Amino acid sequence: MNNEVANDPSASTSVSVNEDAQLVPAPPFSLTLLAENPEFIEARLKFIKIMALRTILMIMAIFAYFSIYWGALWKVPVRPLEGWIIDFDGYRIGSTVKDELLKQSDNRIAWQIRSTKGFSNANDVATAVVEEECWVAVTINADASARLNAALFSGNGSYNSSEAITIIAVEARNENAYRTFIRPSVEMSVQNIVHNFAVEIAAEIQAQNNLTALLSVSPSTLVQPIYYTLDNVRPFDVPVATAVSFVGLIYLLILSFYIVNSGSLARQVSGLERMLTFRSLIQLRLLTPLLLYLVISCFYALLSLAFKLPFERKFGRSGFVVYWMLSFCGMSAVGLALEALMPLLTAKFIQLFLMLWIISNISTCLLPLDILPGLYAYGHAAPFYNISRAVRTIVFSTRNEVGKNFGVLVAWIVVSCLTMPLIQWYRRREQVQSWRKSQVAQKLV
């Protein structure tokens, strides 16, 4: 029977027809996910392989890139912020506050006693804090002890205990540090000192049998002989500024990347990539994004102006133009870096660098570099950090280092302008070699 089948020509023809049917390409839009068509099986395996590889790359990126941002929040503060104690009083209140604050130095604030030389009053100290000579200062104001003694012994009902101590800080320097570390730590320490001092004074007054008389004339002096005033010299009083000093920086980079991606697509679709000489291609890749960054950054700045961001606090009417140029330089700094790397990484892998570029930059803006691990010192040269610093100067009139901030951004632009031709030359050489090989193959045919 088997021999008959083997020798039967019709059976052989049937098998051949079935095999040919499997090799025939399936018509479009006709297959299911589990189809057994050989061409589809190969395509399905290729799809799975690509998605598996990209998933593995994402998992690696989670641990390699995201750890940068997680690390900027883990175990902070690594180092305490510097705080000053300046005693303009020179008597009991001054010595008490100094001694107690020094005992309460912790991992948030490291207190140092500073001489009054160079400071005529608390206003001079406030200027020093604005100029970032320290993060916070506590001043024990002149004649604080004398005014308290006069109130205790003469029953002065107009005595204001909050004039004894002043806490000076700048919220706009870094609102997260101010709200999370500086203000809670300093106020808790000073309030403990105020409470303990009140207990001492009450005990002394009671021992002198003067308690009833003082309570009848100035009870607040007995309950709160000393207190403090919090002087937030530069408050972060414009909530929308968060958009341009932190979160908006990510949007600025995304806009830059969109221009890079659009330029690459336009060159490929139009054929300019293969038509232009090397020099003309470099000119096109430099001038096109710079021109578009100039236009887009203007509308980005106008959006902030529409939401009443006060640009005039530091540079007057020129503040808007300064901010526009800052946004332009910022877009150019982050965007040209992507533009330079696009031929090397190609559209397949540029997104991985984009993730690294965003995370490594934004990690330097959330908290002060002073309290982060030493690894994050690179932030001083990071584009986002310098944009954020300059924005704070423009909007809140903090320490003016705008020239330095622009210098860092321009340095990034120059580096990208120098590396772009090198990377493009390498890629163009490969393209020329591939074209020559194809020409030789065509001649042989």
pLDDT bucket at 216, cuts 50 / 70 / 90: low
- Asked if residue 159 has pLDDT above 90, the reply is no
What's the pLDDT at 432?
83
Together in a domain, 46 and 95:
no
- Asked if residue 35 has pLDDT above 80, the reply is yes
DSSP secondary structure letters along 251-278: HHHHHHHHHHHHHHHHHHHHTHHHHS-H
With vertex at residue 338, the alpha carbon angle to CA 336 and CA 342, rounded to the nearest 5 degrees, is 115
Give the β-pairing of 109-114 and 81-87. Answer: parallel
User: Quick one: which H or E segment has residue 179?
Assistant: none
401 and 389 Cβ atoms separated by less than 8 Å = yes
Together in a domain, 47 and 124:
no
Together in a domain, 212 and 249:
no
Domain boundary among 15, 36, 64: 64
Helix axes 183-207, 92-103, angle to 10 degrees: 130
| One-letter identity of residue 28 | P
Ordered alpha helix ranges (H), 233-382 = 241-242, 248-270, 272-275, 278-306, 312-315, 319-362
In a domain, 344, yes or no: yes
| One-letter identity of residue 266 | A
- What CATH number should be reported for the domain holding residue 143? 3.40.1710
In a domain, 71, yes or no: no
What's the pLDDT at 17?
47
Together in a domain, 219 and 269:
no
In a domain, 338, yes or no: yes
In a domain, 444, yes or no: no
Together in a domain, 305 and 264:
yes
The set of residues, in sequence order, having a beta carbon less than 8 Å from that of 244 and lying 6+ positions away, is 304, 309, 323, 391, 395
What is the spatial distance between Cα 320 and Cα 297, in angstroms, rounded to a whole number? Answer: 12
Together in a domain, 208 and 179:
yes
Range scoring the smallest mean pLDDT among 25-34, 100-109, 173-182, 417-426: 25-34
Together in a domain, 289 and 181:
no
Give the β-pairing of 136-140 and 165-169. Answer: antiparallel
Averaged pLDDT for residues 93-112: 92
Together in a domain, 258 and 405:
yes
Together in a domain, 91 and 39:
no
Q: Shortest CA distance to 273 belongs to which of 347, 200, 192?
A: 347
The total of structural domains in the chain comes to 3
Structural domain span for residue 222: 81-232
Average pLDDT of every residue of the chain: 90
Together in a domain, 49 and 142:
no
What's the pLDDT at 5?
46
What's the pLDDT at 1?
45
Phi first, then psi, for residue 111 (nearest 5°) are -85, 140
Domain boundary among 232, 261, 279: 232
Domain boundary among 38, 64, 90: 64
pLDDT bucket at 93, cuts 50 / 70 / 90: very high
Range scoring the smallest mean pLDDT among 23-37, 60-74, 378-392: 23-37
pLDDT digits (tens, 9 = 90+) for 385-425: 999 999 999 999 999 999 999 999 999 999 999 999 999 99
CA 332 to chain centre: 17
155: exposed, middle or buried (Cβ count in 10 Å: 0-12, 13-18, 19+): middle
pLDDT bucket at 30, cuts 50 / 70 / 90: confident
Quote the tokens at residue 111: 């207190």
The answer, yes or no, to whether the previous bond of 421 is cis (omega within 30 of 0) is no
pLDDT digits (tens, 9 = 90+) for 287-341: 999 999 999 999 999 999 999 999 999 999 999 999 999 999 999 999 999 999 9
In a domain, 20, yes or no: no
In a domain, 283, yes or no: yes
Together in a domain, 127 and 97:
yes
Together in a domain, 196 and 118:
yes
CA 381 to chain centre: 12
The model carries a pTM of 0.88
In a domain, 441, yes or no: no
In a domain, 268, yes or no: yes
Range scoring the smallest mean pLDDT among 6-10, 44-48, 51-55, 133-137: 6-10
What's the pLDDT at 210?
63
